[in-house]
Amino acid sequence: MLKVLKFGGTSMADAAQYHKVRDIVLSDPTRRVVVVSAAGKRFSEDNKITDLLYLCYAHLQYGVSCDTIYAMIRERYCSIRDELGLKTDLEGEFDALREKMEHGISREELVSRGEYFSALLMAEYLGFEFIDATRWLYFHYDGTVDQEKSYAALRELVGEGCAVIPGFYGLMPDGKIRTLTRGGSDITGALAAAALDADVYENWTDVSGILMADPRIVDNPKPIERATYSELRQLSYSGAQVLHEMTVFPVREKNIPLNIRNTNDPSHPGTLVSEEFVEPRSSQQRFITGIAGKRDFSVVTISKKGMAGAVGTLRSIVEVFENNTVPICYTPTGIDVLSLVVPTEKLTPHLYSITDELRSEVHPDSIKVSDNIAIIAVVGRKMAFRAGTSGKIFAALGAQGINIRMISQGPDELNILVGVDNKDYAETIRVLYNAFVK
Ligand code: ASP
């Protein structure tokens, strides 16, 4: 049994958080590989170390002194070390880095140092080996990860041991440091879990899992206990702020479950994401998994008599959108009528060329464009087995006087989408949450 853990910035923010991390890791001997972020915010107005490092680089570029910012970064790590009674020679490390900055350092190398210092300290604190990301996370020249080479290298380095690894960066074929996208330590953690064929990838953050709805809209939404990878994809596509797609990809590919946990509430089971679950018939779990949505869609509705049976019309319509590089998000259909739901900001610059081209290519009876539409998805793998879900949605929204402008069910019965006016967006989410969850 092997668990790979990743701790985010708030879990690495100060000595008290390091203490919690150590308790979590050492409470389970199978928690052998730990990926860490740079120190994050301790309170809402605080600075993230990575942001300060980007700022340092900007100062260097403009020839302005970055001494004050650099001192803040140094002080943050030295105080963590001192409070924990560790011995790592951070002064030597920071002096050497400052020297390198004077002689020209790349932006990616400089901003990667937050994770590097976090990992050095955490390795000493846990008594684990420090394995630098440059020793295993290899990129191709095009910036994609060389999975085969990276996985083999990490397996060799970790063996049966215990290790701490910095997240967020790796090595280019020319020996230069390259960073992943912002928040990329999640991806490092997933790659490490996949490399080592871990039994679970635990992603430790400061919330108890993924929430069933946006907490800015619903008061105290409940966390999702279990979700399949497909549901997670649906929720993030529909607007939920969950993990980046790239995070999920390496672990999903290897069928490794992902467990999102809270460092500040370690006994909470968080959210477990897996390819599938064996659901007991008497499952007490909630019927829907989550609700997510986005505002500002446009719906382009094209009607043409006989369109339903005609060959090639759909292709011609889709081609017009493709030629104008406008992505199509959803396509609810009727008989002889088809709607394309697209983001308004993508449609607006091409609206006239699209309607012109549709007229000449498709010869429709009418084209109607409605703006200010919000699309809300009710997602749940169990909806497929239960009658009356759509009825419940209609009834709940109807009772609150919310006009449904569009409705569509995914063919996999994993989601039901409702389109409402932008102004009804938040209320729709609240009404659906109350109807299905409360
Ligand atoms: N420290 C990096 C960032 O702030 C990466 C991470 O925390 O995942 O984006």
- Report residues of the chain scoring pLDDT below 70: 280-285
Q: What is the pLDDT of residue 285?
A: 61
d(CA 334, CA 332): 7
Q: pLDDT by residue (tens digit) across 111-155?
A: 999 999 999 999 999 999 999 999 999 999 999 999 999 999 999
**Tokens 């020839």 identify what position?**
63
At residue 266, the pLDDT reads 98
Indicate which atom in ligand 1 lies nearest the CA of residue 37.
7
What local confidence, expressed as pLDDT, does residue 277 receive?
A: 85
How many angstroms does the Cα of residue 7 sit away from the middle of ligand 1?
A: 11
**Rounded CA separation 203/6 (Å):** 5
- Residue 281 has a pLDDT of 61
224 C-alpha to center of ligand 1: Å?
A: 24
- Residue 47, pLDDT score: 95
145 Cα–ligand 1 center, Å: 17
| Protein residue whose Cα sits closest to atom 2 of ligand 1 | 183
pTM summary value: 0.88
As a whole number of Å, the CA-based R_g of the chain is: 25
* Cβ–ligand 1 contact at 114 (below 6 Å): yes
293 lines ligand 1 (CB under 6 A): no
Residue nearest to atom 8 of ligand 1 (CA): 183
- Distance (angstroms) between ligand 1 centre and the Cα of 115 equals 8
Residues β-bridged to residue 7: 36, 204
> Ligand 1 within 6 A of 38 CB?
yes
The sign of the CA dihedral 241, 242, 244, 245 is negative
Q: Is 168 in the pocket of ligand 1 (CB under 6 A)?
A: yes
CA distances from residue 19 to 12, 15, 27, 365, 417 in whole angstroms, order as listed: 9, 6, 12, 68, 44
Number of H helices, E strands in the chain: 14, 15
9 lines ligand 1 (CB under 6 A): yes
The tokens for 294 are: 């986005």
